[in-house]
Amino acid sequence: MDSSHKNMMIEQLPLDFVTMGMFIIDDIIYEDGSEKRQVIGGGGTWALLGARLHRPPPSSSRLSMIVHTGHDFPENIKEDLFRLDTNTILRPTPHRLTTRGLNVYKSGQDRGFTFMTEKQRVEIIDLDGDLLISKSAHHSLYRLGAIPRFSLEHAIPSSETDNTGACSVDHLEQCKEAMKVVTVLTPNHAEACGLLDIPFEDTLDHAVRVARTFLEFGVGEGKGCVIIRCGSLGCILADIHGTTHFPAFWDVRNLNRVIDPTGAGNAFCGGLCIGLSITGDTKEAITWAQVSSSFAIEQIGMPSVQVIDGTEMWNNEGVQERKDRYRERLTGRQNGCPY
């Protein structure tokens, strides 16, 4: 038994969620020259966090990701990962350095990203057993062609830090084929425009047109949906019932709450996956996803968590409380604003 399977002694149950995103240790340099070193990051890590927010122990043991640990993997980061109490699997790769990246903020929230060591992605060959039959999965656009090898209720292709090359029209046909076997496609607005080879316009009306275009490609053989993520503008859901706008939890009126948006998109995807896995309702899952994003962007790195009177408090607030607040906002908007 792999000693890094922290929760393997817990009663075996089907996994609710698995991410194929990467784990990365980030260094961050801000516009003013200040620095923060060895920050836990990567698309997989943020997706796992997005799902974990909604699944306290012992249910958290049914959330999984693979972390390739190089010979330099810090012990304190290992401890931080295990504190999430998930089925995080550490795969030693002693011949290499752990994947590390450098984030350089230029102006506002604009940033540049560079890999500082050779990256190691999670590939299909890395998955076995329950990882291949999880109820939901988070994929990156660059491996859409591998999705048909999964047996899943909810496969959700999205994005990841090193995904720029995949977001081009050269990959559109591959993307169309993979769309047929997934439940949800959720690129961000800019990535979606890259795949379609059209100019990006930072408006909801434009995002609606983009979402409808992707829906016409036949997501889930016509039964799936497209969710275009639009940052502080929220997201657009397009399905057979029409198009619907969902605001961001922290929107343009609350930008002071946004400290670092780096992990917001993948946290959204993790919340969406687990929401679909548990509720089976896309609109409710979007509520879970927006709440996941809200916790991801309030600080640099992972949000803090403590247990008070038996309830997990993330950044001093309960996840259920935020979900209730978000639902109240939607009540007067007919559970989202139709377009």
Q: Give tens-digit pLDDT for 271-302.
A: 999 999 999 999 999 999 999 999 999 999 99
pLDDT of 333 higher than 50:
yes
Q: So what's the architecture of 17-338 in CATH?
A: 3-Layer(aba) Sandwich (3.40)
Cβ pair 251, 235 in contact under 8 A: no
Six token digits for residue 301: 């790195």
The mean pLDDT of the chain is 86
Six token digits for residue 43: 């698309």
Strand runs labelled E in the chain: 17-19, 24-29, 35-41, 63-69, 87-92, 100-107, 110-115, 136-140, 154-158, 184-185, 225-229, 235-239, 242-246, 305-308, 311-314, 337-338
Triad 231, 234, 240: Cα angle to 5°: 125
In the sheet with 184-185, reading across from the earlier edge strand, the strands are: 184-185, 225-229, 235-239, 242-246, 337-338
Q: How much of the chain, in percent, has pLDDT values that exceed 70?
A: 85
Confidence of residue 192 (pLDDT cuts 50, 70, 90): very high
Six token digits for residue 119: 């990256």
DSSP-assigned letter for residue 99 = P
pLDDT at 4: 47
Confidence of residue 7 (pLDDT cuts 50, 70, 90): very low
Region 290-317: mean pLDDT is 96
pLDDT tens, 126-159? 888 888 888 888 876 555 555 544 444 455 545 3
- Give the CA distances from residue 83 to residues 95, 189, 302, 306, in Å, rounded to whole numbers and listed in that order: 27, 33, 11, 11
The radius of gyration of the chain's CA atoms, rounded to the nearest angstrom, is: 19
pLDDT at 156: 56
pLDDT of 163 higher than 50:
no
pLDDT tens, 68-93? 999 999 999 999 999 999 999 999 99
Q: What is the pTM of this model?
A: 0.89
pLDDT at 164: 45
In the sheet with 63-69, reading across from the earlier edge strand, the strands are: 87-92, 63-69, 17-19, 136-140, 154-158
pLDDT at 167: 76
